[in-house]
Amino acid sequence: MRVLVVEDEVSLAETIRDGLQQEGFTVDLAHDGAEGLWTAGETPHGAYDAIMLDLMLPRLSGYEVCRRLRARGIWTPILMLTAKDGEYDEADALDLGADDYLVKPFSFVVLIAHLRALIRRGAPERPAVLSAGDLTLDPAERRVARGGETVAVTPREFALLEFLMRNRGQAVTKSAIIENVWDAHFTGDPNIVEVYIGYLRKKIDHPYGRAAIQTVRGAGYRLAADG
């Protein structure tokens, strides 16, 4: 069984690799998100039985790696590693597209148990289509539709709408949007969020006489649960 471990803490990554090798796994390491994405993408399809993915990674977050892998049709089971004091909790890891999660620090016995169970279950089903009223977003086909009519969106608009839809009915802050839709190391002008919210409104709301994307004063934005 072959596993890709994407973990920026080098000593932890090496400890995991050594332990897994003793259990008979073949292990490849990547030390940041971009390297992990590249390695998973370049390795022949199905070569990895599982990917262990740290959530907080340099260059690309674990969430972004996960999202891009799924967008490319790579459905290798993903075990997400999250920190207890991190910004995300366990439920979020699953919402973000992972198949299972472990909270650091974890014992090696628990790690092996999760990994074997994950590999036994095999590759996940394609994700369910997200919907809010008659607004739908299909993560597998990268398709957005309003009342069944396809709406053409750019990859960034798609990612923004997907984030809003996964949090539908709840206000999300501009900084949460930047971290999830751009990345945690984004250093540009945060007003970029408003610009993209405007683009999306022109595509999914205005032509249909709707106002699904709401501005929440002092908080951020919210996608109405009923679309």
Complex with Ca ion: residue 36 or 227, whichever CB lies closer: 36
Among 8, 157, 162, 179, which residue interacts with Ca ion (rule: CB under 5 A)? 8
Query: From the CB of 58, what's the least distance to Ca ion, in Å?
Result: 8
Rounded Cα distance between 227 and 221, Å, is: 13
Binding mask 47-66 for Ca ion (x = CB under 5 A): -------x-x----------
The residue of the chain with the least Cβ separation from Ca ion equals 56
Given the rule CB under 5 A, which of 2-10, 19-27, 157-165, 194-202 is the region that contacts Ca ion?
Answer: 2-10
Tokens of 150: 């396809």
Given the rule CB under 5 A, which of 1-9, 27-35, 134-142, 148-156 is the region that contacts Ca ion?
Answer: 1-9
CA dist list (Å): 80 to 31, 93, 97, 131, 205: 15, 7, 9, 25, 35
Query: From the CB of 30, what's the least distance to Ca ion, in Å?
Result: 12
Query: From the CB of 56, what's the least distance to Ca ion, in Å?
Result: 4
- Rg (C-alpha) for the chain, rounded Å, is 18
- Binding-site residue total for Ca ion (CB under 5 A)? 3
Binding stretches for Ca ion (CB under 5 A) = 8, 54, 56
